[in-house]
Amino acid sequence: MEAQQFREFGRAAVDLLADYVENIRDREVLPSVEPGYLLDILPQEAPEQPEEWQEIINDFKETVLPGMSSPVCTELEVLTMNWLGKLIGLPEEFLNCSSGPGGGVIQGSASEATLVGLLVAKEKTVRKLMKLNPDLDEDEIKPKLVAYTSDQCNSSVEKAGLLGSMKMRLLKADSNARLRGETLKQAFEEDRAQGLIPCYVIANLGTTGTCAFDALNEIGPVCKEADVWLHIDAAYAGAAFMCPEYRHLMKGVEYADSFDVNAHKWMPVSFDCSAMWVKNGYDLINTFDVQRIYLDDVQTDIKIPDYRHWQMPLGRRFRSLKLWMVMRIYGAEGLRNLVRTQISLAQHFANLVRADDRFLVEPEPSMGLVCFRLKDGDNINKKLLKNLTNKKKVYMVAGSFRERYIIRFVVCSRLTNKEDVEYSWNEIKTEADLLSQEKIHAKAQIPAIDIVARELCEKSK
């Protein structure tokens, strides 16, 4: 959306809010719609082409406003999570529109989704074991439960273990930073031999450090055989699955119990909006439902879910509204184009780096991320990044790969263009040139310093 369009859309939205408040006494205090009303009138798929904001505002007035607030807040979330789930090619079992108990829910962040998955896995495992053996005590089982992920995981994954009181094993990824099935299987066996109980696995599709993809097609069957909850954290890279050419990276997704992608990361939805799907919504309800008198008026229907039992807090915002608007403003094609453009810009950057033989691109670029370094060793790279950060023209964060310091260049804004990428590369190149000159200069100075040092040394004797 161009700035001028945004100004017009924004003004129309402000007026709509002001009109609403000015005329609030003309409205009834409760909506007059039947459950499912919105799912019946809105399309079942995201539009392929962008739509005009005037049309969206109009639909808001005609379809959303009559269902304010609770029915429409739930139903628009069901609808948009179906749209997005279909768009990224999730198996039908994850969708509310399938015949089963699956469905999507918007959480605040991938951290929250990982913790939700962990709490549900814990509850489910405890119930299962107590059913198998009624003499078992819940308090004996819980300390034995173990969660597993790769040592490349985001720190929020580790934090979930901390918050959910579950041991979290960070398993060694392979030389390409991917967690492999065999490693996981071995960890299960080691732990079982010690009387521990594998409970929860987080597979990372697109790690934070290098955007590596865990071998889901190996991990999935290991989890399935062990009857362990498999959660997929595709916080960033999940958006790429909107493009069929990247779906091979989620081969094995059919083994997962839950899947999460941040619509606020690579899709242009404002923070926060973390899209999570589960195959069985009842698993969430069994973990999060506390029935009390003043909540008695709500029925449990998995097709019109009572989302407060699908999450940790009780209250919830109307986050599907922004997801709905973004999907309509861009259209499916527009969203796929954003992903493809940004990946090709990253490729362009990688080519610029490769053309300079002082630099290495390593590992292979993945999605919008290009990791690179000067061939000369860690210290010079640290200095390069420090100088660039101080100059404030490009902002990058370091990482590590095969125990080497790497600099991470990411394209992730809808506004980034080819000129920005070339501008960034020139900034990097210029700083590298300066560092090369300093190095030559420093080398030339060493003998002189050596002489002074030797003299001082002799004097002090």
Q: Which stretch binds its own copies (CB under 8 A): 49-57, 251-259, 311-319, 334-342?
A: 311-319
Binding mask 256-285 for its own copies (x = CB under 8 A): ---------------xx-------------
Smallest Cα–Cα separation from 412: which of 370, 374, 353? Answer: 370
Residue 257 contacts residue 226 (beta carbons within 8 Å): no
Which three-class secondary structure state does DSSP give residue 281?
helix
Sole binder of its own copies in the list 344, 400, 430, 436 (CB under 8 A): 400
What torsion do the CA atoms of 46, 52, 58, 60 make, to the nearest 10 degrees?
A: 40
Token digits of residue 217: 């097609």
Binding mask 160-199 for its own copies (x = CB under 8 A): --xxxx----------------------------------
Smallest Cα–Cα separation from 180: which of 146, 203, 199? Answer: 203
CB neighbour burial string for 251-262, b if at least 16 within 10 angstroms, e if fewer: ebbbbbbbbbbb
Shortest Å distance, C-beta 171 to its own copies: 16
H helix or E strand, kind and range, residue 157: helix 155-163
Binding mask 214-253 for its own copies (x = CB under 8 A): ----------------------------------------
- Of the two residues 122 and 185, which places its CB atom closer to its own copies in the complex? 122
Residues of this chain, 411-430, that bind its own copies according to CB under 8 A: 415, 420
- From CA 318, how far away is CA 306, in angstroms rounded? 14
Interface with its own copies, residue 315, by CB under 8 A: yes
Interface with its own copies, residue 33, by CB under 8 A: no
Smallest Cα–Cα separation from 106: which of 332, 270, 336? Answer: 270
- Of the two residues 61 and 317, which places its CB atom closer to its own copies in the complex? 317
Interface with its own copies, residue 317, by CB under 8 A: yes
User: Looking at this protein, which amino acid is placed at residue 402?
Assistant: R
Residue 274 contacts residue 235 (beta carbons within 8 Å): yes
**What are the residues facing 276 on neighbouring strands?**
105, 260
Shortest Å distance, C-beta 43 to its own copies: 28
Shortest Å distance, C-beta 17 to its own copies: 7
Sole binder of its own copies in the list 49, 54, 58, 155 (CB under 8 A): 155
- Return the residue matching tokens 């184009």: 337
Tell me 61's DSSP state: I
Q: How many CB atoms lie within 10 A of CB 382?
A: 14
- Of the two residues 2 and 458, which places its CB atom closer to its own copies in the complex? 2
Shortest Å distance, C-beta 92 to its own copies: 30
- Return the residue matching tokens 């210029």: 430
Sole binder of its own copies in the list 255, 259, 288, 401 (CB under 8 A): 288
Sole binder of its own copies in the list 34, 175, 195, 290 (CB under 8 A): 290
Q: How many CB atoms lie within 10 A of CB 154?
A: 21
Q: Which residues bind its own copies (CB under 8 A)?
A: 3-4, 6-7, 10-11, 13-15, 17-18, 21-22, 24-25, 28-30, 32, 108-109, 111-112, 115, 119, 122, 138-139, 142-143, 154-156, 158-159, 162-165, 208-209, 271-272, 287-288, 290-295, 297, 312-315, 317, 389, 392-395, 397-400, 415, 420
